[in-house]
Amino acid sequence: MATPFIWQGRIDGETEEHLRIHQVMNRYTPTQFTLVGFASDEGVKRNKGRLGAKAGPDAIRQQLAGLPLHRPLAIRDAGTVYCDDGNLETAQRHLSDEIIDILSLNQTPIILGGGHEVAFASFQGLFDFVAKNKPTKIIGIINFDAHFDLRSAFEATSGTPFLQSAMLCKQYNRPFNYLCLGIADHGNTKVLFDTADDLGCHYIRDKYLTPSQLPKAIQQIEQFINKVDYLYVTVDLDVFSASIAPGVSAPAAKGINTEIFDELFAVIKASGKISVFDIAECNPEFDIDNHTSKLAAYLIYQFLF
């Protein structure tokens, strides 16, 4: 059994103005945010990607620990779901059940990946929670990603989570609302574009996520958000340029920058509809000076504050 992460770091003082995240972790109730790690790259392995994302959760925790607080924060760490035996489907179900439990406590889950196979577990958890408690409400998925992850395969992989999500929606006669931001033409085959179109997905290519075209992108995002009640937001770190996020399973030749992400994410966050948030594909094995894990921690920080 893996050793639980120990939250520690620099301490400048114990009064409010000195506090860092590690000093308040697991300390205050009622809890607003709950972290859960998903230590898996089994989906990446099945998808023939480069391995190492399994170590992502603790790498992100390490970078998150020392970040400063500018207002009170009630946050806890619920530990990590591991996929050690190759049984991805069981690990995904375990994570989904954890998410249901967290949502039932009126807390917001933040999932630390791990390969992007985390996405089906995250969506399934929110889907099951909403189906049981608010069956008339509509879920929307916003995925920051260079790839659609709509692959058809014989088994679950890091490339199949949103097709799995679409099939789950179809099974229960629920709408599938999917918006993908940062799609790379060179990162997706024609069949993936065709699948996205057939499923009625919305997407904005990376080449259109530029400062001059930002107002149009924001308008599209707001229109999407207005049609749903709950949002599952997932960030695959390969949506960023490899110069910003080298430690991922599939580095991006182009990608978006953090300024564009901040603008788009601020709009999404302001809706107040984010119910589940996760970070995927943090791969310390290929990181450079912790650039990618620091970026992941920064993204979570943007969500927290």
Q: At what angle do helices 258-270 and 291-304 cross, to 10 degrees?
A: 30
CATH T-level assignment (fold) for domain 16-304: Arginase; Chain A (3.40.800)
Q: Is 84 within any annotated ligand binding site?
A: no
* DSSP summary character for residue 136: T
Where along the chain do its domains lie? 16-304
Backbone phi and psi for residue 155, each to the nearest 5 degrees, phi listed first:
-145, 165
pTM as predicted: 0.97
238 assigned to a ligand binding site: yes
Is 236 annotated to bind a ligand? Reply is: yes
pLDDT (0 to 100) of residue 3: 74
Distance of CA 74 to the CA centre of its chain: 20
CA-wise closest residue to 108 among 276, 299, 304, 298: 276
Q: Spell out the per-residue pLDDT of the chain, length 305, in tens.
A: 567 899 999 999 999 999 999 999 999 999 999 999 999 999 989 998 899 999 999 999 999 999 999 999 999 999 999 999 989 999 999 999 999 999 999 999 999 999 999 999 999 999 999 999 999 999 999 999 999 999 999 999 999 999 999 999 999 999 999 999 999 999 999 999 999 999 999 999 999 999 999 999 999 999 999 999 999 999 999 999 999 999 998 888 889 999 999 999 999 999 999 999 999 999 999 999 999 999 999 999 999 99
Neighbours of 229 (CB within 10 A): 14
97 labelled ligand-binding: no
Degrees, nearest 5: CA angle 182-187-191:
105
